[in-house]
Chain A
Amino acid sequence: MNARTLSPVAPSPKSSVRRWGPVTAGVVIWWSLYHWNRPFWDWVMFDVVGLKAGSRLGESVHFFFYDVSKIALLLTGVIYLVTILRSFMSVERTRALLGGRRQGLGNVAAAGLGVVTPFCSCSAVPVFIGFVAAGVPLGVTLSFLIASPMINEVAIVLLFGLFGWEITALYIGFGLVIATVAGMVLGKLNLERWVEPFVFETKLRGKVVDPSRGLTWDDRLQMAREEVVSILRKVWPFLLVGIGIGAAIHGWAPEDWFANHATGWWGVPLAVGVGVPLYSNAAGVLPLVEALHDKGLPMGTVLAFMMSVVALSVPEMVLLRRVLMPKLIATYVGVVATGILLTGFLFNAIL
């Protein structure tokens, strides 16, 4: 018996009309809401409430409501879609794909799989042990663990919604490069001695259960609905605070303040220095950095800040402490932060 037995015994499958009807209706409603979002808030704020368009207060309040609804809509749509696509993947399948790969190509594959594999940072420890115990090289495993949080769907949605597709593509591309190269560097350093010894002693005795097997379309659609609710529930406080601060900056910070004060070379290290210990998620950080960018903060600095907040988080390091010794965690943070730093410098130079 395995996870598959859940579905066949489940209540009889829905007819395709009952299954896809609500999905189609959802798409139409979503598209209408997204399309009418700006005119709606223009009307509410400037005609009904009577705020003045172009005034500080008016623009800030309008920005807040418009942005909150836009991002909530984008998150809902993309998480729904991504969860359905990802339900065809699993960490178990990824491990099978990475098993026996060597450094180099293995790192590239791991970084790419880190993006498409459904993965919760709460599973970081079992995944780490599972990969290493199954013979996936340490550096390749770390490439996976770096790419997964850095290129997550929430970050991608927000980048796309706030900065457009060019910046999003650059972010994804450089995120993959950082994850690949950092994993290679960490692999070359032969840091196995700084991994807790029990990891290598773990024997895999059970039969591997792949949660992506045997799912019906009803299961996938239900998982997608649940994922949307669970992520929105998790990120909404961050989103409100981030957009709130962003709205205040939009309205009150002087135009070009950062362009005049923060374009020195030290901007990037400062952004990384602040970003690494800061615990938030993409939903809180991006509206903030969008506002900062709008006031003249250079793009490289903006991206470096965002990457360091999202990719390196204290809670994840605390979790990984169970399998990695502090020296290895420090090296890991150092190598990834260096990659982010270089990316920031490069972007500031070319953009």
Chain B
Amino acid sequence: MNINILGSGCVNCKNLEKVTLAAMAELGLVADVEKVTDPGEIVSWGVMSTPALVIDDEVVVAGKVPAVADIKRLLTSR
């Protein structure tokens, strides 16, 4: 599983990373987590509202920081 966190270093981007890592830890999930901070690359994902979460090349969250439970659901429903 590949996970990308898109965001140019704003507070919410760090929060999204924290929440995602917490969700993974609770699930005992191991995956590559890569942060994408380059604005050009972020936009090329089709994302303008940061932060955004990408799982296996698919944008699943944009423009908000969901709760840990929501991210767990997103991770397990794949």
Contact assessment for B43 and A92 in the assembled complex, using a CB-CB cutoff below 8 Å: no
Contact assessment for A206 and B77 in the assembled complex, using a CB-CB cutoff below 8 Å: no
Contact assessment for B77 and A9 in the assembled complex, using a CB-CB cutoff below 8 Å: yes
Give the Cβ gap from A131 to chain B, nearest Cβ, in Å. Answer: 8
* Neighbouring B residues of A208 by C-beta, 8 Å: 46
Residues A90 and B63 in contact in the complex (CB < 8 Å), given A9-B73, A199-B40: yes
Per DSSP, are chain B's interface residues mostly helix, strand or loop, or mixed? mixed
Give the Cβ gap from B6 to chain A, nearest Cβ, in Å. Answer: 8
Interface residue total, chain B, C-beta cutoff 8 A: 29
CA distance A210 to B60 in the complex (A): 11
How many A-B pairs fall under 8 Å by CB? 94
CA distance A2 to B42 in the complex (A): 16
Docked complex: B1-57 residues within 8 A CB-CB of A: 8, 10-12, 39-40, 42-50, 52
> Could you say which of A49-57, A122-130, A327-335 contacts chain B?
A122-130
* Neighbouring B residues of A131 by C-beta, 8 Å: 48
Residues A211 and B77 in contact in the complex (CB < 8 Å), given A90-B49, A92-B48, A126-B47: no
Contact assessment for B46 and A205 in the assembled complex, using a CB-CB cutoff below 8 Å: yes
Interface residues of A (CB under 8 A from B): 1-3, 5-6, 9-10, 90-92, 95, 120, 122-123, 125-127, 129-131, 133, 198-199, 201-209, 211, 223, 322-323
Interface residues of B (CB under 8 A from A): 8, 10-12, 39-40, 42-50, 52, 58-64, 66, 70, 73-74, 77-78
